[in-house]
Amino acid sequence: MSESEKNKNEKKYKSGFVAIIGRPNVGKSTLLNNFIGNKVAIVTDKPQTTRHRIVGVRHFENGQIVFIDTPGIHDISKFELNKYLNEIAYSVIPDADIILFVIDAEKGLTEEDKKILEKIKEKKKENTKVYLIINKIDKVKKEDLLPLIDKISKEYPWIQEIIPSCATRGTNLDRILEVIERDLPEGVPYYPEDQFTDMPLDLLIAEIIREKIMMLTDKEVPHSTTVVVENIAPGDYNKDMLVIDAIIYVEKKSHKPIIIGKGGQRLKKIGILARQELEKLLGKKVYLRLWVKVKEGWRDNRRLLKSFGYQVE
């Protein structure tokens, strides 16, 4: 076989950045976790679960997809934290090779979604491909989907693919991956084959603790809470154990007893659930110590946001 024929038969390596963008609670993080096959983004049924730009890496034969999960975009930015979350979401658009714009099948294409699509069109690179993912299709009748797909394709002819899906059931996720692999540009590996995220360990631990808080609390409390990991160290007597110290910050004095619960029961439950997941994730015993402190107005204070690990300017 000649050298030119050999080169023709060799598959080119493909890689690129795929941004997952959308309103709060449309299923972006569930999609990411399913694409990666590992939990890298926390998932709850409450808005504003994702607060960071989260990278998840999927390796395939002769290629690599770098997914970037983003916080849900808010139409009204009441706090500095919300403004910061919107900034993160929009900042990934110019560097993306492919954008997955996710909407909720039950809500259809809302006015807020349309505003985000205009921003995507304005900020994306000329050759960036955009797929619109209609998620949560298990919540709607099949006959209602076709008119929605038809309407979107007519209104937005620059969207390359419209794919209905259900992230929780895995419906059509293989189709989404298929078109991503097809449209990825030629490139180089960005991450080693055994790496599936670049999230620092302290942030991953903090996010898992915050997920348990969101699961076990209601109303305003989950949104006014953040977690900072102060220390990760081997145990004094058992080097195979990790000792983790973390502080749960709340915004109001009235929120502190809610997190702690009667006789400390809620805080204990948060700690048990977080520890169980961390032990499974890290493959070793974990001794988790939690404290609850009040920092009034932290969501509206950029200095405090920065001290808590949010990458604000």
Q: Where is average pLDDT lowest: 8-12, 77-81, 211-215, 229-233?
A: 8-12
Instruction: Indicate the pTM of the whole model.
Output: 0.89
Nearest to 90 by CA among 60, 63, 122, 67: 122
Q: Are 261 and 269 in contact (CB under 8 A)?
A: yes
Tell me: pLDDT of 153 over 60. Answer: yes
The pLDDT value given to residue 3: 52
Per residue in 176-232, pLDDT (tens digit) is 999 999 999 999 999 999 999 999 999 999 999 999 999 999 877 878 999 999 999
**pLDDT confidence tier of residue 6, bands split at 50, 70 and 90:** very low
Q: What would the DSSP string read from start to end of 69-128?
A: E-PPPPSS--SHHHHHHHHHHHHTGGG-SEEEEEEETTT-S-HHHHHHHHHHHHHS-TT-
Rounded to whole angstroms, the Cα distance separating 186 from 112 reads 34
The pLDDT value given to residue 313: 63
Nearest to 55 by CA among 196, 192, 176, 177: 196
Rounded to whole angstroms, the Cα distance separating 22 from 290 reads 33
